[in-house]
Amino acid sequence: MAVLAYSPGKREINQYFSIRNAKLISLVVVLLLLLFHTASRYYGGGDSCEWLLSRGRFLGENVWQPYGCMMHKYKSTEARNCLAEKRVAFVGDSRIRQLFYSFTKIIDPERREDGNKVRVAWVYYCPHCIFTHGLQETTAKPDVVILGAASWSIKLHRGSSETLQQYKVNLTAIAVYLERLAEDGEVYWVLQEPVNEGVLSENRKMITNQQLDLYNEAAVDVINSSKRNGRSRIKLLAASRQAALETISQSDDGLHVPESTRDVGAMVLMNSLCNKILRPIDGSCCQTIPPLNFLQKLAVFLFLGSALILLALHVFGINRHRRPVPPDVESLEEKKPVTAAVPFSPKAPFHALCRMGVIMGYFYLCDRADMFMKEQKFYTHSTFFIPLVYIFVLGVFYSENSKETKLLNREQTDEWKGWMQLVILIYHISGASAFIPVYMHVRVLVAAYLFQTGYGHFSFFWLKGDFGLYRVCQVLFRLNFLVLVLCVVMDRPYQFYYFVPLVTFWFVIIYATLALWPQILQKRANSSGVWHLGVLMKLLGLLLFICFFAFSQGIFESIFSMWPISKLFELHGSIHEWWFRWKLDRFAVIHGMVFAFIYLVLQKRQVLSEGKGEILLPGKISNLLLLFSVISFITYSIWASSCKTKTECNEMHPYISVVQILSFILIRNIPGYARSVYSSFFAWFGKISLELFICQYHIWLAADTKGILVLIPGNPSLNIMVSTFIFVCVAHEISLITNDLAQVVIPKDSVALLKRLGATGIFSLVVLLLSRSGQPSPGA
């Protein structure tokens, strides 16, 4: 009934709101956001460094989020590398001493908090240096000075107004010298944190928040006026004060802030000092835009050149343009080539490249340029499970009757990929990888994608027998086009987008397994059962191949470390990430191939009942299989909840993930009524699942998935709605662009295709040789 009531409304809505209109709206929204963020930077002032030092909030216990940027959590080795050539001085009262202890704990976690004058390599604390000329311009002049004072002046003089005036005079006197220090180094003035007046001891009762605010105002006024002809080089550290406003109630003595708050101030300082030096990907505060490299400039030239050519073709009246609309836009399985009644016009490829160029510009602005804000992830159960419930309610609401009722029909596999992709997106943006039970269930979803890869490609080769080069190139192009463009535009290695190398590798393996002699197809196997044995022997050989490499890490790494294929599989100069990803789901593809073989054989022998409303198998067998499936789901969830570490669980994952996948398939397909319906909502997303998975890296998440893109600051709910809307529209458009270019780039004529492959190979080899010659030698 819900479907019937919904259908007329859906038709009426679709008259006014289509995916084309949605994309136009998203384009307008992006332009408005660009204007807003540009104006806010230009007129509002400030940059990510000022945001880091001045504003922020707690996402959760001890997790500090600076306004508009991401803060890297520095390790000891990173801090030492950053500060190796710097002398850092802390000057001030006991509060500054505490900040000093937290700062040195980042560099040396084992150091104890004791003594008034402490040195950790080049970082030292000197309470009165600034007043006793300990920081005079000598050969030992510090590179960084962190200072602050007020509380003890208030205490010693009982908060008198004369002391405040003298404080201003003294600070004005040293501000000129601090400005000179800041010309060659960095100087930070730490604003005073509040106190918890209720627990202050009697001899500290005069240190009130009102007094501290007066001293902070005086410090800000003096520092801002210390350089009359420009902006003061002295930086104000107010983030620790803002953090203390929320945590001072936890203070033991009411004066000194809790250790967690001191750690926030220390980590803010470390990010301010080191982000521009070490450039951590998850530390966007204080980072400048890197210059474009050669390949990025080449991409800009290509996209601009395409725009000029398109303009010229338009001016000269070559206006015919037709886009082939594919019957299905999907990711992991083969797309049927479109038979065009009207040939492509010369404008078609240039039009597609122009659209791609605009989209890549948006990618760059989101995740490389300092245009939009970024925030850290923080996992809570509500941020994962509430959106999960919401999308599944939507999925059920958009239920429709299937055109087919076969097991794993096209609509059902699209639905399967769709809801899995949406779960994975929620998993990534909520930071749910920190929660091991969710992590393990998502690992099963990734294995299910690879299972579908094995199932889909085996079914195609078994039924169609098309091992031609055209089909292979079509699949490889559709899988890799977006990723290869992103590798150039975003300056990332191919292995960074790990899922595409994984499915590409397994497609090649499936093709090689089935295409090598003897090529066994269903038509040939129907004539003799011996051919079925031949297929099983091929699958057994593939299984032995997988097992051999799984237990021979050294051989595996030596093969994939050889040039030039190492360029496809190395990440940060190591093959380890590829080894981890490959090993984790090493059996998923062959599980899909074996399942496809068994299913197609049973289907051919008419063992299965796949009519509308019919139970797939005889009643008792179906009931037993359904009971087994439900029990396996419950058992797996209990096991995943009991896992202590990801490493421990990942060891078992390759062997047990198939049980969950098969259980889902049986529950979804044994009842006839379940096969007869599908969710058009999930199926729509399933058709662009690969584009969604890749695009999320840069235009939904941020900092290469380490953070979250912030288009609308200050309103997380509205921000996620707007960014999601744009993200989905972009993914859908890229899917269409890929389809457009695939028809042009991959010709059906074998001779033309071989020529293009040869030219592509030569170009790729030249690029690889240039990149190799540009690298420093190991001994350099």
Q: Which residues are catalytic?
A: 94, 253, 256
Q: Quick check: 757 and 473 in contact, CB under 8 A?
A: yes
Q: Residue 125: name the closest of 156, 179, 158, 87 by CA.
A: 87
Q: From edge to edge, which strands make up the β-sheet containing 123-125? A: 119-120, 123-125, 88-92, 144-148, 186-190, 235-237
469-489 and 347-367 are packed helices; what angle lies between their axes, rounded to 10 degrees?
40
Q: Closest Cα partner for 442 from 421, 414, 461, 415?
A: 421
**Measured CA angle at 205 (ends 202, 209), to 5 deg:** 160
Using DSSP bridges, classify how beta strands 701-702 and 707-710 pair: parallel, antiparallel or unpaired.
Answer: antiparallel
Q: What are phi and psi of 690, to 5 degrees?
A: -65, -45
Give the 3-state secondary structure of residue 727.
helix
Per the structure block, which two tokens stand in for 225?
């006026």
CB atoms within 10 A of CB 277: 15
Cβ partners under 8 Å of residue 524, min gap 6: 531
Q: Helix crossing, 588-604 with 646-669: angle to 10°? A: 20
Alpha-carbon distance of 231 to 49, in angstroms, equals 15
What span, in angstroms and rounded, lies between the C-alpha atoms of 535 and 531? 6
Token digits for 716? Answer: 């997380």
Residues ≥6 apart with Cβ < 8 Å to 517? none
Q: Angle at CA 511, nearest 5°, toward 506 and 515?
A: 155
How would you classify residue 369: left for phi > 0, otherwise alpha for psi between -120 and 50, otherwise beta?
beta
Q: Alpha-carbon distance 6 to 11, whole Å?
A: 9
Rounded CA-CA distance 212/204 in Å is 13
Residues in the chain: 780
Beta bridge pairs of residue 65: 57
Element (H, E) at 461: helix 436-464
Taking the CB of residue 186, how many other CB atoms lie within 10 A of it? 19
Over its C-alpha atoms, the chain yields an Rg (Å, rounded) of 31
